Amino acid sequence: TTTLFIVLSRCLHRQILRPRKTFDFTVGITQSAITTPFVIDDESTQIVKAYETLLPVQAGSEAAWSVDSTLDLIFDPRSCDNQIGKETSVNTDKGRSVVINNLTVVKDGIYWSEELERLLPAGPSAEHIYNVSSRLQFNSNFTVTHMKERVCSHWASPENAQITMKDGSKWCARYKTPCFILGEVMAYYFSLLMCINHIPPVIVTKPNPTTPQWGLEAVKEYLNNHYWIPSGLVTLTKWIPELHATYVPNIMKTGDRFLHVDNPMFSGLTQQQFLDLMEYSDATILDYLLAETDRVLYAARHNFTDYDDNNMEIHNMFADGNGNHWFLDNEMAFFWGQAIQHPKYAPLIEMLKSVCIFKRRTVVMVTKLYHHKNVPHLLWEIVNEHLGGLDLVWSSQLPMTCRRYGKRYTIDWARTLTKRIGHVYTWITRCSTVGYKSLLQEIHSNHVITHKMGVLISDSN
């Protein structure tokens, strides 16, 4: 029989956050294991081609993997503030600063300045966000006292409910199939790995009415009436009050539609527009890595040119009363966002190539991801450490099978994530070394090719 056994140096919760320079574990794989499908929908079947493992299989069918100590890529939200101001391996136009109205906006040609970053609202840190979720995820020390349907999203899905806990806190519960659940939670932990603090705390649980968490009579009645079965999976996302819409910046929907210091529109922007663009650029990078098609790409799918006014909302990107930006509803990440892209990569890569100014910390983390070379397995380990008791069957070495509307999709998420990291790193490098006109010509050429490919695919269907 085909076997896959994984011997891990399992970390306790407190050890995950302990700063260390290596993250070592051993993986043992039989030769036939790499062709075994991981099916996360019990009703579906799949035929999977042999998937080339990302780990080098050595003699004795064992492979040792570790993070290079010089790269220092660990999951430690406490260290995120230490990444600010660090140098990257990207060659930049050092010394080129852009000063507008006595405010230094850009440093070294491609980085938002620290002076500008300090003007952003002081929102919750990555460490604080992680601490909120970990207390509930590891201890299950919560009790649901009230559930209210059709509150959590604009689309008012009956699979969503706003819940109130005994401590008075409110959360958005989403009862979904495993691919949506995994997408949501993987996006959350990946954002923390990237030191991006724009996704609220997320936990995963089962709505089991026999447990203290879901055992109140009114709650049990809700679960029964809405057919939330005890073995199902629910994500709980911290409720953020007083949210309002954010809008596509004008520079991204008119003129060259290219965020670059040499864009003629750039020098005429206001301080608030620069702050909004800073968050927009982070959302673009994160969405590309996540294969998240339901945020910045949502506007592009509906054609920027159809919206010439200032009221083009960014889907699932909101600001709270303090001005902090939040990236919500990430269930399309990694799986469904990747499955629905036609032609492959093209829509999101156009969005990636519309941005050439970045937060320095984001570039630091992209550089670490790029040199790491096995980020899918690291993400797999992080998620499993937090959700290991929920019986989610998935792998960083094999494609996933997801099912929706009677169709089955085999999604090679790990290989795609590795490629996307390379694409982002390469694009940032090009932003730092290639001139504005050449980049703009490249973008326009890609757009024409993408459009032609899309027409061909539509015609073939």
Which of 3.30.200, 1.20.1070, 3.40.50, 3.30.70 would CATH assign to domain 126-238?
3.30.200
Quote the CA–CA distance of 78 and 220 in Å, as a whole number.
Answer: 38
When the pLDDT of each residue in the chain is averaged and rounded to a whole number, the result is: 76
Task: Give me the helix-helix angle, 271-290 and 178-193, nearest 10°.
Answer: 130
Task: List per-residue pLDDT tens for the chain, 461 residues long.
Answer: 333 333 333 333 333 343 333 222 222 222 222 222 223 332 222 222 222 222 222 222 222 222 233 456 778 888 887 655 555 556 555 678 999 999 999 999 999 999 999 999 988 999 999 999 998 888 778 899 999 987 776 555 778 899 999 999 999 999 998 889 999 999 999 999 999 999 999 999 999 999 999 999 999 999 999 999 999 999 999 999 989 999 999 999 889 999 999 999 999 999 999 999 999 999 999 999 998 887 877 665 555 444 445 578 888 899 999 999 999 989 889 887 777 665 454 567 888 999 999 999 999 999 999 999 799 999 999 998 888 667 777 778 888 888 877 888 888 899 989 999 999 999 999 999 999 999 999 888 766 555 444 433 333 33
What's the predicted TM-score (pTM) here? Answer: 0.79
Quote the CA–CA distance of 205 and 173 in Å, as a whole number.
Answer: 10
Segments making up each domain of the chain, as ranges = 4-65, 77-121+242-460, 126-238
Report DSSP state, residue 250.
Answer: G
Quote the CA–CA distance of 288 and 286 in Å, as a whole number.
Answer: 5
Three-state SS annotation for 161-201: EEEEECCCCEEEEEEECHHHHHHHHHHHHHHHHCCCCCCCC
Report DSSP state, residue 214.
Answer: G
Quote the CA–CA distance of 402 and 41 in Å, as a whole number.
Answer: 6
DSSP-H helix ranges across 198-263: 217-225
Return the C-alpha torsion angle 432, 438, 444, 450, nearest 10.
Answer: -70
Quote the CA–CA distance of 276 and 388 in Å, as a whole number.
Answer: 38
Buried/exposed 236-249: b ≥16 CB within 10 Å, e otherwise = bbbbbeebeebbbb
26 touches 7 (CB < 8 A): yes
Torsion over CA: 234, 237, 243, 245 (sign): negative
Q: Report residue 337: phi and psi, to 5°.
A: -60, -35
76 touches 63 (CB < 8 A): no
Q: Report residue 80: phi and psi, to 5°.
A: -60, -40
Task: Give the neighbor-by-neighbor strand order of the sheet with 407-411.
Answer: 38-39, 400-404, 407-411
